[in-house]
Structure 1
Amino acid sequence: GGILKKARELTVLCDAEVSLIMFSSTGKFSEYCSPTTTTKKVFDRYQQVSGINLWNSHYEKMQNHLNKLKNDNNNLRREIRQRMGEDLNDLDIDELRGLEQNLDNSLKIVRERKYHVISTRTETYKKKLRSLHEDHGKLVRSLERKDDNGDCALGDNGGPDYETALGWVNGGSQMFAFCIQPCHPNLQETRYGSHDLRLSGGSSTVTQLQPL
């Protein structure tokens, strides 16, 4: 605090332009600058009077870092061209062998990845196919149970056979005749006759039941 007080006194009593930058042993930063100037202006005046450029070393470091980045970029571009079969005239036999080995390794990795993708997709398609087979089997068993229970029977008077009906279920467009047997007790007591149910191309026609 004492040195900062002295800097303020110099500014007031001597009308001096003072810039003070201070770091303590613990790393604490303190600064003071006269109200009539800035720290940058003080540094610029110091460089003009002393002839010392405070930024040369920093500029040189930045320039060296920039040159290094440019060299790395050029090397990467040249390596890419060489992997594409270009810019090979300046390579000796050892460099060509090394490039060939790198290309073989890269090709091996690409092939392994390709086979992995093919295997994954194949397993996915197999699972989908098994699921479709299971759904088809469930549908067939459901139709067989309904046929055994007498809920619906295929017509015997010139109607389609069982395989043809399954073909319609799987997307066929033929016309079929089904004989509906009334199962409700009231319908049986009233002695309703059986009637035909005809399906064609997704449309259906049901004839109303008439008492016998």
Structure 2
Amino acid sequence: MVRGKTQMRRIENATSRQVTFSKRRNGLLKKAFELSVLCDAEVGLVIFSPRGKLCEFASSSIPEVIERYKRHTKDKVQPVQNQSVDIPQHTKQETASLMKKIELLESSKRKLLGEGLGSCSLEELQEIEKQLEKSVSTIRARKMQVFREQMERLKEKEKALTAENVLLRKKFEGLEERRSSKEGEVIFSIEGSGSDKSDVETELFIGPPHESRIRPLN
């Protein structure tokens, strides 16, 4: 597998692209302003948005910066255009070799994604299949490892919750025992107070007195 720096690509989503453009544009304009102030540099910055809107910044003015740029490069651009660049032969060979490797890698990548398989032979298709099976096996092994790690974390969480449940149950049982004890004390107190007044007659009689209560006069 070839590893390298992540390639910068165009943002496909239009909304995300517009948001990124606005953020990067403001940051770039800020940096240009800071450079002109802190370093006393003459800075000119021109930006065209994807919709063609012009954004610019200049420490003096854009026309002055462009005119100064033209004067500065006028005498340097012409000689370079008239000169032929002599590239060493080995550099050309290395460049061609690198370009060929890039093409092969891009072709291999497309084939692994299921694209451009029309020109592949049976042996090439079998080799691609082996590579995909190996990749799938590696992915599944990693998936099982992640699954086991999650199961271990869930088991630890279950143990903690079980211990917390036991503790809460003990607290609840202690509260129940204390409440039952208090209710028993109240009942005992009521019964005891009633026995002290057993000789007091509390019945209410309506009508003529009972015979047993009438005493004859001597």
**Structure 2 length normalisation: TM-score?**
0.41
- Larger helix share, 1 or 2: 2
- Larger strand share, 1 or 2: 1
Indicate the structure whose relative CO is greater, using CA pairs within 8 Å and at least 6 residues apart.
1
**Structure 1 length normalisation: TM-score?**
0.42
